[in-house]
Amino acid sequence: MGEYLTVNGLRTYYEVAGEGDPVVLLHGGGTTADSWYGQLPALAERYRVYAPERRGHGRTHDLPGPVSSELLAEDLAALLTELGTGPVHLVGWSAGGTVALRLALRRPELVRKLVLISSGVSRDGGTAADLELVSEANTAMLESMFRPQYEPLSPDGPEHFPVVFAKWLAMWRTEPDIGFEDLPGLTAPVLVMQGDDDGVRIEHSAAIARALPDAQLAVLPGTSHVAPLEKPELVSRLLLDFFGEERATRFMPLGALGG
């Protein structure tokens, strides 16, 4: 079910379903809450699931000025505070992962557990193909990819697409820029997940997991940057397992991440 809530002048659209502890799903850049169709119903069987659309995405309008993951994290913090969710299980996919990590670092009291899907902490964590994807040479291709998703839903009208697209490009070409320095201070449990043919280098995801005090690493076989669409049931199972209160006993830990 879709609902709206206006906080700090931003009328935000979000999908909500289920009952229980809160789970928040953050979509990737240029997409919408609809991209979670493979996970939202499964998670809603056990949790109260929210899938908000960030400013300038989907059914949430744009506001003047540039965008950054830090600004979007502030938007999210305001939304969760207004909703009164308390600490949430927070899942961020791609650019949504950057927003999720920003929030976890700046407002740790709002995040119970964190999942980063196909999301790094620095530009050099991306593969060569990932870096090329957002280059000037591929601008027209990206425009043709995201315009059809934007125009039918945006409350700002289809003519506003060039404005938000320029903002996205500026952000994608400079972020993520969080780095590793602050990761040891993030005490919430974190699941770092990516495809084995993703835009994030596997070693970069492993380095993120090593830098965190309480992290797990999942590399999904036969998937790319859109694993939640390619293997939705597997992603849902991993999320449900991670959110569960009980952890499997590690019978023979041999330090793979550390070594």
Nearest to 120 by CA among 201, 185, 222: 201
Predicted pLDDT of residue 217: 98
Q: Which two tokens stand for residue 66?
A: 């540039």
Predicted pLDDT of residue 248: 85
Strand, coil or helix: 240: helix
Residue 159 has pLDDT above 80, yes or no: yes
Across the range 70-86, mean pLDDT stands at 98
Q: Is the domain defined by 2-243 classed in CATH 1.10.540.10?
A: no
pLDDT bracket for residue 247 (50, 70, 90): confident
**Domain boundaries, given as residue ranges, for the chain:** 2-243
Bond into 176 cis (ω within 30): yes
**Which DSSP string corresponds to 116-172?**
EES--SBGGGB-HHHHHHTSGGGHHHHHHHHHHHHTTT-TT-GGGHHHHHHHHHHHH
Predicted pLDDT of residue 246: 83
Q: At what angle do helices 95-106 and 69-83 cross, to 10 degrees?
A: 70
For residues 90 and 111, the answer to whether their CB atoms sit within 8 Å is yes
Sign of CA dihedral 80, 85, 86, 92: negative
Distance of CA 16 to CAs 19, 23, 177, 244, Å? 9, 10, 31, 20
pTM of the model: 0.97
For residues 161 and 81, the answer to whether their CB atoms sit within 8 Å is no
